[in-house]
Structure 1
């Protein structure tokens, strides 16, 4: 196969140890492995203060873009657990979906949407939420948060208003 005609490798979903998503993504980037941990900003309240924190959109998961023959390199880091499989194959996320996650996280377009208009079970064109060419299914919704199933990876993404 000609190297010029090589198609980009899909992003894979990698399980992490709990609360190690951002740390593992940073370590993999240092190792030269393209990794992405989508985050959202939340306001956490304690008895004496409020603080904005970044929490992962995909708890205990990150996305990695790595060639097939180098996939095991991620396990050189102790926080990597295993790859997510969907229907017997490694779960693959397209570059378009990753870019949509990036733009959604940066633009926070989700907050401007009327959550009360969404209904569980509704098929949702994710373009209105900052995604392109992605469809999801509303799993749960109330005035403060919404859970949407991303069918390509069989996972629920939780969005919260800040």
Structure 2
């Protein structure tokens, strides 16, 4: 079975994934933990990694079953066909989210436009392009995963 990307109503990602799992459709909503600041308190909350998107694993024949759940809007399309996500990419996201450690990256002279291969962390062996060089961080584009990674510079 293929993994597809489903666009949801804003802030409905967790609800849609939960309801799809309840009716027997494998749905995955990657979550990250972040601290939110209100005027009177701070609270740790789980928020979706991708706003308004979840992943579903269904057969081609059962693709329309996801629309039985309120909040599922449409599939994400690529070149006129529903976008298919590889199992390896889903596993990479899951592995990355399971990693609790912080990784030290030593950098001497990365410059904008450099092509590099990451040597440690959850994206080890992934190739990236340096998009931005700042005093405190680097912004890397991981083309194979279609995401952007911010790497903090460590002051020694």
CA distance in 2, matches of 1:52, 1:141: 30
Residue equivalent to 1:112:
103
Task: Using the TM superposition, give the Cα deviation of residue 126 of structure 1 relative to its aligned residue in structure 2, in angstroms.
Answer: 6.6
Structure 2, unmatched stretches of 5+, are none
Alpha-carbon distance change, 83 to 71 in structure 1, aligned in 2, over 3 angstroms: same
**Contact 1:115-1:145 within 8 A present in 2 as well:** no
Deviation larger for 63-72 or 99-108: 99-108
Alpha-carbon distance change, 23 to 123 in structure 1, aligned in 2, over 3 angstroms: farther
**Contact 1:97-1:134 within 8 A present in 2 as well:** no
Q: Normalized against structure 2, the TM-score is what?
A: 0.75
The runs of at least 4 aligned residues of structure 1 exceeding 3 Å deviation read 113-129, 131-152, 155-161
Residue equivalent to 1:60:
52
Aligned residue among 12, 32, 40 for 1:20: 12
Q: Normalized against structure 1, the TM-score is what?
A: 0.72
1:10 corresponds to 2:10 = no
Alpha-carbon distance change, 116 to 135 in structure 1, aligned in 2, over 3 angstroms: closer
- RMSD between superposed Cα atoms in Å: 3.3
Aligned residue among 42, 67, 76 for 1:75: 67
SS at match of 1:59: coil
Count of residue pairs the alignment pairs up: 150
Greater Cα radius of gyration, structure 1 or 2 = 2
Deviation larger for 55-64 or 124-133: 124-133
Structure 1, unmatched stretches of 5+, are 1-8
Alpha-carbon distance change, 27 to 150 in structure 1, aligned in 2, over 3 angstroms: farther
**Correspondences of 1:40-55 after superposition (within 5 Å):** 40-55=32-47
Residue equivalent to 1:103:
95
